[in-house]
């Protein structure tokens, strides 16, 4: 039943993800997540790893600035001490494995560029042949950026969007009811879409979320304002 999908599920599902670090030592494996270790995110926030979720390779971090605990994939954290600044001119970070398309040009956070050559759906790896050495390397989709920097514009398609967190079950139904209106579980609000693709929820139940229009007309959501959107909402034309 649509009424059962509430924003509370989003908060419980660990959607607080950050972009991969551009500088400093990036965590290479889940083993690098050690309770008590100090880490930082790409936007410069720092904190301490408090606990682990081995089933999903999540590291829980308590941040210095607000004392709150948030969950991250190990690959989206770096050892504290890096500058946490992304290089200028970087494209939109890939938001899901669906964004890995053979032939698509992508770049890494350190500026290397190449073309996606093949995929590994089981592990969500994209194989990239880099321009600088012609070698093929496998990378998680979350560590790649699209070379297409075309800004988004226009309006969101009216309809019901099914929101999924971390590629798992549906966590919420978001209804776009007009050019600048939406509703969630019967609660309505206003939003506007900026030329950059940023979606600003001005009022209503989604006001606390950061959002952006992603490839394929999907709506990305997170709570930390970063470039990675752990929850993706896709238009489902079978829902009303």
- Give the domains, in start order, of the chain with CATH numbers: 2-9+150-235 (2.40.128), 20-79 (2.30.30.140), 97-146 (2.30.30.30)
User: Which residue, among 12, 56, 9, 11, has the nearest Cα to 170 in the 3D structure?
Assistant: 9
Would you give per-residue pLDDT tens digits along the chain (240 residues)?
444 444 443 443 433 333 333 445 788 888 888 888 888 887 778 888 888 887 777 888 888 777 788 888 888 888 875 433 334 445 677 777 888 888 888 888 777 888 888 998 888 889 999 988 888 999 888 788 887 654 444 578 899 999 988 766 788 999 999 888 999 999 999 999 887 788 999 999 999 999 988 877 889 898 888 777 888 898 898 887
From CA 211, how far away is CA 50, in angstroms rounded?
Answer: 27
Residues with Cβ within 8 Å of 69's Cβ and at least 6 positions away in sequence, in order, are 50, 60, 61, 62, 63
Instruction: With CA atoms as reference, report the closest residue to 70 among 6, 140, 12, 8.
Output: 12
> 195 CB contacts (<8 Å, ≥6 apart)?
151, 152, 153
Tokens of 87: 């290089």
Decide if 39 contacts 59 (C-beta within 8 A).
yes
Distance CA 102, CA 218 (A): 20
Q: CA 150, 156, 161, 166 torsion: positive or negative? A: positive
Q: How many C-beta neighbours within 10 Å does residue 130 have?
A: 16
Q: pTM score > 0.75 for this model? A: no
Distance CA 78, CA 101 (A): 27
């Amino acid at each position: 039943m649509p009424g059962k999908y509430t924003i509370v599920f989003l908060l419980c599902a660990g959607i607080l993800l950050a972009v991969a670090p551009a500088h400093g030592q990036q965590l290479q494996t889940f083993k690098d997540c050690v309770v008590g270790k100090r880490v930082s995110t790409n936007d410069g926030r720092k904190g301490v790893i408090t606990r682990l979720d081995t089933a999903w390779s999540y590291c829980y971090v308590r941040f210095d600035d607000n004392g709150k605990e948030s969950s991250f994939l190990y690959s989206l954290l770096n050892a504290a001490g890096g500058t946490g600044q992304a290089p200028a001119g970087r494209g939109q970070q890939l938001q899901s494995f669906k964004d890995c398309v053979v032939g698509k040009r992508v770049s890494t956070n350190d500026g290397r560029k190449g073309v996606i050559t093949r995929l590994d759906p089981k592990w969500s790896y994209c194989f990239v042949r880099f321009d600088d050495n012609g070698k093929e390397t496998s990378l998680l989709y979350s560590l790649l950026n699209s070379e297409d920097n075309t800004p988004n514009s226009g309006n969101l398609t009216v309809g019901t969007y099914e929101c999924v967190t971390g590629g798992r079950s549906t966590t919420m139904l978001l209804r776009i009811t007009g050019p600048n209106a939406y509703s969630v579980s019967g609660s309505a609000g206003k939003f506007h879409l900026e030329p950059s693709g940023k979606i600003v929820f001005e009022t209503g139940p989604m006001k606390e979320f950061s959002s952006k229009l992603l490839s394929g007309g999907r709506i990305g959501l997170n709570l930390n304002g970063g470039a990675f959107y752990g929850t993706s909402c896709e238009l489902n034309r079978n829902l009303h």
